[in-house]
Amino acid sequence: MNLFEDIILVNKTTLKKSVNSFMKNWVIVFTGIVYAFLNIAIIVVVSTLFSGILSILAGLIMAIVSSSLISNYLYLLFNIINYDRITLDNFKEGFKYFLWKVYGIFFIAWIGSFILSSIGGILGTNEELLSRLVSIIIIVALNPLPETIYQKYLSSGESIRYAFEFMKENCINWVIPNVIFHIILYFITNTWLLNIFATHLSFNFDFTLKGVGLYVLGQALFSFIMIYRGHLFKLLSTSTPRKRMYMNKFYN
């Protein structure tokens, strides 16, 4: 099987599974609204309770809160990809399921940011330019990190290493559909999704008929993309081109 045939086979299989999963679990589209309002409510509470000298703790608390919301979303995807269903109990359990793994990755990122800032200061380089360059590298090289977190039983550091190795081995199969989907998402929402840990699209509180319609459409596409990524990652991380060629002949 050549590369082109493998790309067609992989995405044909993934598309079929993703459409089926999305149709059964369409309710995930509306989790974005829940996350948006939860985030706003928590920010208000934290900024009110932790003012003055206690504001030092606010950053730590918000990091844990962000990790918890990401954990919740990844756990919903975990259940969709593995069991093809999500329940209210899944939503309740999700806030803590991957919490410390996600927080561990944020902590590693914070250490990396601190080191990068120190190096930039010592070398006298443009810190902003250096930061943007590193951000682009992370977006590309560690793009499948969310899927690694909820599909592989690895520590935070091991997850980062695995995501990098996965991209080296499956770069073309992973990048092509992701680029296509994100271009479509941009034309619908006029927003580039550059946060690999995004759990929803920004609502922007545009309550016009057009605004609400575009948000729901964009959120639906975002949800489908995340489900697609989950099935794509599972297929690529558990098979090789040779195995996929054999299985395709077997089923045909």
Residues 217-244, mean pLDDT to the nearest whole number: 94
Whether the pLDDT of residue 17 is over 90: the answer is yes
Neighbours of 125 (CB within 10 A): 11
Contacts of 89 (CB under 8 A, 6+ apart): none
Instruction: Write the DSSP string, 18-66.
Output: HHHHHHH-GGGGGHHHHHHHHHHHHHHHHHHHS-GGGHHHHHHHHHHHH
Model confidence at 249, pLDDT cuts 50, 70, 90, reads low
pLDDT of residue 241: 84
- Residue 146 or residue 136, greater confidence: 146
Residue 109 has pLDDT above 50, yes or no: yes
- What was the pLDDT predicted at 56? 76
DSSP characters for 208-247?
A: SHHHHHHHHHHHHHHHHHHHHHHHHHHHHHT--HHHHHHH
In sequence order, what are the residues at sequence separation of 6 or more whose Cβ sits closer than 8 angstroms to the Cβ of residue 92? none
CA 155 to chain centroid, in Å, comes to 17
Specify the pLDDT at position 236.
96
Which of 32-36, 55-59, 67-71, 150-154 is predicted least confidently?
Answer: 55-59
Asked whether the predicted pLDDT for residue 166 surpasses 50, the reply is yes
Mean pLDDT of 205-228: 89
Task: Give domain limits for the chain.
Answer: 3-251
